[in-house]
Amino acid sequence: MSLDESPDTSTVDKRRNAQRAALLDAASEMLMRGGPDAISLRKLAANVGTSTMAVYTAFGGKEGLITALFEEAFDRLAAAQNAVPKSPEPLLWLEGLGRAYRRFALDNPSYYALMISVTMPVSETIRHEERSSNPPARGISRYASYQNLHDAVQACIDDGSFPSDVDTMMIADAFWATVHGLCSLELAGFYASAEAAQERFSFTCFSMMRGVLTEKGLAKLASLAGVDPKH
């Protein structure tokens, strides 16, 4: 009855995986160009050189394909976040994570839009399997990207830069919302220019950090930046 847990990859499985990858590649290209709506199963199959049925056997339909792209997007974001050097100074690490997040959003606008889209039924699917995951399922910790943010904030707390009587996830979510809001508005074109967007990103992130910092953290930030943190 086709148990999927067979460890040895047979010939058909090999070709199937290769075709699966080819489908994902072609779909991501379409996604890059014209957004999620531009993904046509017919054109997709034609690009790969097969029929639309391949999408149904491999992913179960268009929704399954989008779900696979969804996970691909989170993997890319996680890779971008992991590539940030873990500076011994937690505040700098946190700042690097924010910059990397923005760079990922600007470089992969379609993937980013897919990740945070509300209308996509994919979101609910992901969240469903999130709730029913294994015991260590505390919120969205599954995403490596969030884990990086969480660790950086925790390091800032241990460092004394952030208050210790506030939940780590509360602070992490604050930074996530701030950085995401900036990227979202920038991608939506609400800022006049890339320079204006850069200025707003820096100012807003800096203000957010200043709002969370303890007195000790303020002093440390001042010594790092060489400016007066009062303003």
Interface ranges with a second copy (CB under 8 A): 35-37, 109-110, 113, 116-119, 123-124, 127, 139-140, 163, 165-166, 170, 173-174, 176-182, 184-185, 187-192, 199-200, 203-204, 206-212, 214-215, 230-231
| Contact partner, 207, from a second copy, DNA, none, Cβ < 5-8 Å per class | a second copy
Q: Is 16 in the site for DNA (CB under 7 A)?
A: yes
Within residues 78-117, the interface with DNA by CB under 7 A covers none
Residue whose CB is less far from a second copy, 70 or 93:
70
Q: Is 184 in the site for DNA (CB under 7 A)?
A: no
Cα 125 from chain centre: 17
Residue 141 carries which DSSP code?
Answer: T
| Contact partner, 61, from DNA, a second copy, none, Cβ < 5-8 Å per class | DNA
Burial of 52 (0-12, 13-18, 19+ CB in 10 A): middle
Count of C-beta atoms within a 10 Å radius of residue 19: 17
| From 28, 29, 35, 56, residue interacting with DNA (rule: CB under 7 A) | 56
Residue whose CB is less far from DNA, 57 or 223:
57
Separation CA 109–CA 115 (nearest Å): 10
Q: For the chain, how far is it from start to end, CA to CA, in angstroms?
A: 67
Residue whose CB is less far from DNA, 69 or 84:
69
| Contact partner, 5, from DNA, a second copy, none, Cβ < 5-8 Å per class | none
Stretch of 5-13, 85-93, 120-128, 140-148 contacting DNA, by CB under 7 A:
5-13
Within residues 17-36, the interface with DNA by CB under 7 A covers 19
* Contact predicate 179/209, CB 8 Å: no
DSSP-H helix ranges across the chain: 11-34, 41-48, 53-59, 62-82, 90-107, 109-115, 121-131, 144-159, 168-187, 194-212, 215-225
| From 5, 7, 10, 135, residue interacting with DNA (rule: CB under 7 A) | 10
* Contact predicate 160/217, CB 8 Å: yes
Stretch of 41-49, 81-89, 97-105, 136-144 contacting DNA, by CB under 7 A:
41-49
Separation CA 148–CA 191 (nearest Å): 28
Q: Is 52 in the site for DNA (CB under 7 A)?
A: yes
- The three-class DSSP label of residue 20 is helix
| Contact partner, 86, from DNA, a second copy, none, Cβ < 5-8 Å per class | none
Sign of CA dihedral 88, 89, 94, 98: negative
Cα 115 from chain centre: 7
